[in-house]
Amino acid sequence: MHSSDRDRIVLAAVVFAVLFSQLLLYPGIATLVETLGADATASPFAETALDASMWFLVAEFVGYVTFVGVWGTLSDVTGRRTPLIVVGALAGAVGYASLALVPTIGSIPFEGVLVLRFLQGAMTIGAFSLTITMLMDLEGGHGRNMGAAGIAIGLGAALGAPAGGQLTEANPVAPLVAATFLLVVVAGLVSRLEDRTPGTRRRARAVLEGVRGRPTLSIPYAFGFVDRMTAGFFALVGTLYFQATFGIGAAATGLLLACFFAPFALLQYPMGMLSDRIGRTIPIVVGSLCYGAGILAVGAAPTVMTAAVAMIAVGVLGALVAPATMALVTDLADEREHGVAMAGFNFAGSLGFLGGFLVGGTVASNYGYDLAFLVVGGLEIAIAIVAVPAFLRLSLGASEGVERSDPNA
């Protein structure tokens, strides 16, 4: 096996482990925050189960947004990625372990729990974003490399949700313990990989100016924002919607979420290779239009079975969009600025997750689930419509590396 192929497998396994650990917490989020001390009488962030769950998820992604650029810039400036991933993974493990110990201490207010969650997110995003950046550094076709990242993300989410539901029913803090163990394993795996960071040490200003000089990166960033918004929406609002509407528990909710994440995961690699052959425009624009319509179909589904079918369709469409969008980042970015370019994408994506939590949670709380689905699905459709003239105006469809990343793929 070629060393690039071996590293691609290992790096994909690392991305899988990080996402798997994150999704372990989602199906039983309401039970978890209650165990960690969410109390309406003691904290304004815990007036309802939805509020407490929302802020617990938001705290992690505020950490993501705040520090993802720091990790990316640091890796490009120093010309190193593997030691930074190891540090981020181990520090993230400490964060998960600290949260798991909260119930045994019993004196930490919920605001303190949110601070711990913020710090855990700030460290974990380093391991996640820089691992994807290492996949960007590999040879073999941008769509293929990002397809490997995508299948790892999807599988981690697909398997993490049902596993987290089962662990929550056994013990509410069990997902935190499992996440701690997984991030320690991540640090061990990455420490054995070759660091393929291109170029030499550069000044931070040169790296940042290089990325700012490529305004076309705003296109995949915009799609990444909206796509991750839908994921955040399903993680919080979708979870509570399914339980409230269909009367199902955490385990069944995890399985319903897996109906989306399973096809989303399994199809990412072939869809990424497809985008190497046919270009990024059709998968991104047409896929996003259909993806938004699928979200509306989930919200309109009258039964668990029809909701499951709609979730499967949305997963297939998401697999079409996601690797092509990440590959477009690689197409457009200079190889010496991969860390910052992918950090920008993950920054936009983390803001999207935050938007999914905050917008979805706020709309659902004040106006009901139907309008929440309409808003999020409508945004996905809107960004695709807006992007059509942007693709044409910038002539991305005809540029090398965008319309066909690898002519031999």
The DSSP result for 7-25, as a single string, is: HHHHHHHHHHHHHHHHHTT
3-398 CATH fold? Growth Hormone; Chain: A; (1.20.1250)
Query: Could you tell me if 329 and 220 are in contact, meaning their C-beta atoms sit under 8 angstroms apart?
Result: yes
Residue 276 has a pLDDT of: 80
3 state SS of 394:
coil
Which of 66, 68, 65, 43 has the alpha carbon at shortest distance from 53?
Answer: 43
Cα dihedral across residues 31, 356, 377, 130: positive or negative: negative
Residue 220 has a pLDDT of: 84
pTM: 0.75
Residue 95 has a pLDDT of: 96
Per-residue pLDDT of the chain (409 residues; tens, 9 = 90+): 456 778 888 999 999 999 999 989 988 888 898 888 877 777 888 888 778 888 898 899 889 888 988 898 888 888 888 999 999 999 999 999 999 999 988 778 889 999 999 999 999 999 998 998 888 888 766 777 888 888 888 788 778 878 998 899 899 999 999 999 999 999 999 988 888 776 555 555 555 555 566 677 788 888 888 888 887 788 778 888 888 888 888 778 878 887 887 788 788 888 888 888 887 878 888 888 899 999 999 989 999 999 999 999 998 998 888 888 888 887 777 777 777 788 888 888 878 877 887 888 888 888 888 898 999 889 888 888 887 777 666 544 444 444 444 434 4
Alpha-carbon gap, residue 138 to 363, rounded angstroms: 42
Domain ranges of the chain: 3-398
Alpha-carbon gap, residue 275 to 120, rounded angstroms: 34
Q: State the DSSP string of 199-216.
A: S----HHHHHHHHHT-GG
Residue 202 has a pLDDT of: 52
Cα-only R_g, the chain: 20
Residue 399 has a pLDDT of: 44
Alpha-carbon gap, residue 319 to 287, rounded angstroms: 9
Check residue 303 and give left, alpha or beta (phi > 0: left; psi -120 to 50: alpha): beta
Any idea what DSSP says for residue 236? I
Residue 263 has a pLDDT of: 86
